[in-house]
Amino acid sequence: MSLTRTRSCLAALVLVSGAVGLSAQPVPQTADPATLVVSAPVTLRELGKAQVRGVPTRMAWSPDGAWLYLRVSTVDRWSNETVRHILLETAGKGVQDLGDEPAWLPRYWNLKSALTSPMVASWRIKIDTRDEQVRTTNVPREGNIGQSGDPGAGMDEVIRKAANSSQKVLFEDYVLNGKVIASSVNGYVSPGRTFAWAPAPLSLVAFVNAKGRLVLMNQAGATREVKGARKPSLPAWSEDGRRLAFVQGSATSSDCTVKVIDIR
């Protein structure tokens, strides 16, 4: 069933509920990703070094859909972050620099990056954190321990080098419906960088998978890959759920492009 037809049914249900005195709260709308009409990504804005001067770290739609907010961050060698706030006009070429994030951003970001679906309380991201002992590929293993490194080195020296080449690594994965939708190595996931819950009443999520593909998924775990989205990040749904924006990186430079797809 298409989103347009499902929305029509939902509107009729709300009218009937109101007539009988029931609450007109949004009803979760589960769409089959395979039946959605998904457009090819369209370039909204190309951003060069002069405009970006850093890494995009947040993106959000204004409530009226007229603007996309983009936060760009630069981090110095001492881990101090400098942030730039930019508004991009969605129906024109306007660009505005802001002194701070817009007032509507916290609500939007909290909903899109939450651990739980805004529509289905039981549809929740599981955090899988684990430590693993990792060794480099040139570290000797099992019976080969005496065959690696300096042939003139004693066994004690070989074992010491092997121990120094081994380290404990922290892995953190965000898992939803058995699929990893965000991950981090020796750090923690920044929620919202690689996934976004759809707004009410849609029961959908968009995420970037391990292969760097943009994927739509419903509560049942059915998925659909968005064709033409290369190196995507910061997926962001419009408030009406009809548009999905993302930042697409360049394979040859630090430039990036803001792309948008239509969903029906």
Q: How far apart are CA 84 and CA 141, in angstroms?
A: 48
Q: Which residues contact 121 (CB under 8 A, 6 or more apart)?
A: none
In tens, the pLDDT along 164-198 reads: 566 889 999 999 999 999 999 998 899 999 999 99
Q: CA–CA distance from 84 to each of 38, 40, 89, 101, 107 (Å)?
A: 32, 29, 16, 9, 19
Q: What is the pLDDT of residue 161?
A: 58
Q: What is the pLDDT of residue 1?
A: 52
In tens, the pLDDT along 102-123 reads: 999 999 999 999 999 999 999 9
Rounded to two decimals, the pTM is: 0.78
> What rounded mean pLDDT belongs to the chain?
82
Q: Give me the residue spans of the domains in the chain.
A: 26-119+189-262
Q: Which residues of the chain have pLDDT under 70?
A: 1-28, 49-51, 136-166, 250-254
Q: What is the pLDDT of residue 176?
A: 98
Q: What is the pLDDT of residue 25?
A: 56
Q: What is the pLDDT of residue 142?
A: 42
Query: 233 is written with which tokens?
Result: 């990040």
